[in-house]
Structure 1
Amino acid sequence: MISITSLYASLCGILILALAIRVVYLRRKNKVGIGNGGVDDLRRAVRVHANAIEYIPIVLILMAALELNGVNGWLMHVLGSLLVLSRLLHAQGLSGSPGVSFGRFWGTLVTWIVIIISVVANLVQFFAN
């Protein structure tokens, strides 16, 4: 059973849905049927949503593998909490500015750290057994 991963998958699902709703809202507001119509806010909203879609699934797959292999619950909660926090930071940072920002920088960095820790932990699990 992967109940811890399910918790963080659900939280990330809420985030992805919220980001998608924001894209739809901006498309309707700016009368853009597809793409971004050259509207800066919409272009960033599409990119924020896409970025979440690019990173969240691989982390959840890595977390599910760890949980199925019996990794301690505390590590799972650390990874899941950091994933949600980093994705929120990134969404906030990129939504506010297309350039460098606190949220974008730390959101990206922490997401990458979660991926690295998850990969290493999975490899350790594999080679230890």
Structure 2
Amino acid sequence: MDPLASAHAAALWAGLHVILLLVLSVLVTRQRRKHQVEIGDGGVPALTQAIRAFGNATEYVPTALAGLALLALVGALPLLIHAVGLTLFVGRVLHGFGLSRSIAATWPRAVGVLATWIAYVAMAASLLFYAFP
């Protein structure tokens, strides 16, 4: 196995998650400009949703990226890193999409949360496994 394969896998998912955060940030900016709100949500539901979609991603993604980087550092299999990264990415995209469209409990939000938690559990278990050589 290429010794950098794990790092390359982590880099892929880090890059995609950074792009996702940028897209969610742009959606907030678009709503701010559309409704002429400089700070806060101005009581505009669409802006509140965009802010929460971005905020929720910023609550989950950084920790997950740190976990993926640590998995790469300990030499976890690239397939494991790809599985966790993909699960997290799909979860975050679905959650962001669902929350951007509705404040109600929707299937994209529910599946997004579930996928995020599955990725977190798999990552935590893997990190603990690799912590004890």
Aligned to 1:34: 39
Q: Distance in 1 between matches of 2:43 and 2:28?
A: 14
Equivalenced residues, count: 128
Residue 87 of structure 2 contacts residue 118 of structure 2 at CA under 8 Å; is this kept in 1? no
Classify the secondary structure of the residue corresponding to 1:32.
coil
CA RMSD of aligned residues (A): 0.9
- Identical positions, percent: 38
Q: Distance in 2 between matches of 1:8 and 1:54?
A: 17
Q: How does 1:87-126 map to 2 (within 5 A)?
A: 87-126=92-131
Listed one character per residue, the Cα deviations across residues 55-102 of structure 1 (whole Å, up to 9, x for unaligned) are 011111111111111111111111111111111100111111111111
- One-letter amino acid matched to 2:79: W
TM-score (norm 1): 0.96
Gapped regions of structure 1 (runs ≥ 5)? none
Which stretch shows the higher mean deviation, 62-71 or 33-42? Answer: 62-71
Q: Distance in 2 between matches of 1:26 and 1:95?
A: 11
Aligned to 2:19: 14
Classify the secondary structure of the residue corresponding to 2:104.
coil
Q: Distance in 2 between matches of 1:100 and 1:10?
A: 29
Q: Distance in 1 between matches of 2:111 and 2:96?
A: 11
- One-letter amino acid matched to 2:81: M
Q: Tell me which stretches of 4 or more aligned residues in structure 1 moved more than 3 Å.
A: none
- One-letter amino acid matched to 2:66: I
Listed one character per residue, the Cα deviations across residues 95-116 of structure 1 (whole Å, up to 9, x for unaligned) are 1111111110010111011011
Gapped regions of structure 2 (runs ≥ 5)? none
Q: Distance in 2 between matches of 1:25 and 1:81?
A: 27
Aligned to 1:51: 56
